[in-house]
Amino acid sequence: MVKIIYINEKDSGVGYHRLQIPFANLDEDYKDLDIKGTNGFTLDFHPRQFDIVVLNRMYKHDEDYLLKAKNSGCKIILDIDDWIKLPGYHYKDGVKDLILEQRILDAIGYADVIWTASEFLKECLKDYHSNIVYIPNGIDFTQPQFIPNKKPQDKYTIGWIGANNHHLDLKKLAEPFTKLLKNKNHSLLLGGYNDSSNEYYQLIEKIFTSNFQRPPNQYTRVEWMDVMNYALMYNLMDCALAPLGSDKFSQCKSNLKVLEAGAFSLPIICSNVAPYSEFIEKGLVLTPKGDWDGVMKGLISNPKKGIELGARLHNYVKENYNIKTINIKRYDSIISTLD
């Protein structure tokens, strides 16, 4: 029996997709694994009780806990979903980013194995660690929030769900959204709005409303929902958006937004960048060539095209990115860590 503890971060979307749901499924499917999970570091679960400690690349890791794990002979798996160096535009930028980077580097130094959510990120980390395994994201289609329950909308609804650290990505949509103002057959949805006093959320809402020029019947703001329910917002959309920059930090991102859209059989319009290259090459997503508004107008005028594309994406995601399938690789990596 392999005893494992994973250390999650409460209300973390990354923790939900990279630790909480994967390990709940591992616990159910592999009887040779004895798995416990905890939010944050606690010596109630001393590492000497376990064979493996798994943690996400957290900004607040307890170095003392990792040292105890190392000294007790416990193996450490570090899951990293982002490039370690924060860009200047990140909302956690400034003096703190050097501290955060050092914490991540410290954690890498303790790790026996690194898991990454993308092949691109794996390549970028090769100078920092010799044992890196690419474990893709996966969708648990049995989770209540990922069981589609489409809510019919009065207008063709184009939406985006995310956090305020994507404010610069969303700037790409400011002009296209303004060009759509005269089209009365659509509505925009902003999902995950969390704090009206936050300057980044204020900026994002200005983008979606074209500086508050957009009529009320063409805009919906859905407030933040916790990690167990956030995906329900996809039921309010006919099409999803995934704008993303081309800098190194952005290129290291995962394909999660495409997987989420696929889970709901939605077409998705995304930037032509590394995280989405697999889906672009297979013609499963739409990629603007500087004409986001043109692509959006095409779907608004021809919803059937979006329905067909969304169905193809759904079938591909369900076949290749089901959490059960992805966990085979995760399980193999866990076992090989003890060799």
pLDDT score of 98: 58
Q: Express as a percent the part of the chain with pLDDT over 70.
A: 93
CA distance 249 to 270: 17
Query: Do residues 324 and 331 make contact, with C-beta atoms less than 8 angstroms apart?
Result: no
Residue 307: exposure state from Cβ atoms within 10 A (0-12, 13-18, ≥19): middle
pLDDT score of 99: 67
CA distance 160 to 179: 18
pLDDT band of residue 95 (cuts 50, 70, 90) is very low
Query: Per-residue pLDDT tens for 16-35?
Result: 999 999 999 999 999 999 99
Query: Per-residue pLDDT tens for 239-275?
Result: 999 999 999 999 999 999 999 999 999 999 999 999 9
CA distance 301 to 336: 52
Query: Do residues 43 and 18 make contact, with C-beta atoms less than 8 angstroms apart?
Result: no
Q: Alpha-carbon torsion 264, 118, 324, 18, what sign?
A: negative
Based on its alpha-carbon atoms, the radius of gyration of the chain, rounded to whole angstroms, reads 21
pLDDT band of residue 57 (cuts 50, 70, 90) is confident
Residue 133: exposure state from Cβ atoms within 10 A (0-12, 13-18, ≥19): middle
Query: Per-residue pLDDT tens for 176-200?
Result: 999 999 999 999 999 998 877 788 8
Dihedral pair phi/psi, residue 277, rounded to 5°: -60, -40
Query: What amino acid is encoded at 69 in this protein?
Result: A
pLDDT score of 69: 87
pLDDT score of 26: 98
Residue 178: exposure state from Cβ atoms within 10 A (0-12, 13-18, ≥19): middle
Q: Look at phi and psi of residue 192 and say left if phi exceeds 0, alpha if psi is from -120 to 50, else beta.
A: left
pLDDT score of 60: 57
Give the position of tokens 């999660």: 256
Query: Per-residue pLDDT tens for 291-324?
Result: 999 999 999 999 999 999 999 999 999 999 999 9
pTM as predicted: 0.94
Any idea what DSSP says for residue 188? E
**3-state SS assignment for residue 295:** helix
pLDDT band of residue 105 (cuts 50, 70, 90) is confident
Q: Is the pLDDT of residue 100 over 70?
A: yes
| Contacts of 84 by beta carbon, 8 Å cutoff, 6+ apart | 57, 101, 104, 105, 108, 125, 128
Which whole number is the average pLDDT over 317-339?
97
pLDDT score of 213: 96
Higher pLDDT, residue 339 or 287 = 287
Which whole number is the average pLDDT over 41-61?
77
pLDDT score of 43: 61
* Structural domains of the chain in order of their starting residue, each with its CATH number: 2-138+322-337 (3.40.50.2000), 144-320 (3.40.50.2000)
C-alpha closest to that of 159 among 228, 248, 220, 90: 220
DSSP 44-91: GG-GGG-SEEEEE--SS--HHHHHHHHHTT-EEEEEE-S-SS--TTST
pLDDT score of 58: 62
CA dihedral defined by 125, 128, 131, 133, rounded to 10 degrees? Answer: -20
Query: Per-residue pLDDT tens for 152-166?
Result: 899 999 999 998 888
Dihedral pair phi/psi, residue 186, rounded to 5°: -135, 170
Query: Do residues 32 and 337 make contact, with C-beta atoms less than 8 angstroms apart?
Result: no
Averaged pLDDT of the chain:
91
Any idea what DSSP says for residue 5? E
pLDDT score of 201: 87
pLDDT score of 106: 86
Which whole number is the average pLDDT over 77-105?
72
CA distance 183 to 55: 47
